[in-house]
Amino acid sequence: MLGRVRLMAGHVEEAIAELEQAVALSGGEANDRALLATAYAAAGRKREAVAMAELLAESSGFVPAAAIAGLYTALGETNVALGWLRRALALKDTDIKYLKVDPRFDALRDVPEFKMILVQAGF
């Protein structure tokens, strides 16, 4: 959680350190990896972020769709991010409840399809 908070507060380098530790401690839990990849993207470490995104997308286990959407938003891949948000809605991803206030999605706030997703999510 500390890594998530630091990322949302814009303390990217501190977030990376915390999230790398979280990934190690959790055994590579998907949500932790998605947040770490988002922090990498925010730090300009696009190659590392994209590599992690590809691994997450190909995973046969649970993939946190809203977290992946946040990652692709940080990478500037709006259409891909919106696709993951639609998937998050369909899967009833529990992180959808933060969609209206989560700073990871600030870059999408003026996108008409994002506004429709907010309405579909009940906001």
CATH number at residue 84: 1.25.40
Predicted local distance difference test score (pLDDT) of residue 92:
92
Model confidence at 58, pLDDT cuts 50, 70, 90, reads confident
Domain extent, residue 75, equals: 2-120
d(CA 31, CA 109): 23
**pTM for the whole structure:** 0.86
Please tell me the total count of domains within the chain: 1
Residue 77, pLDDT > 90, answer yes
Q: What is the crossing angle of helices 65-74 and 46-57, to 10°? A: 150
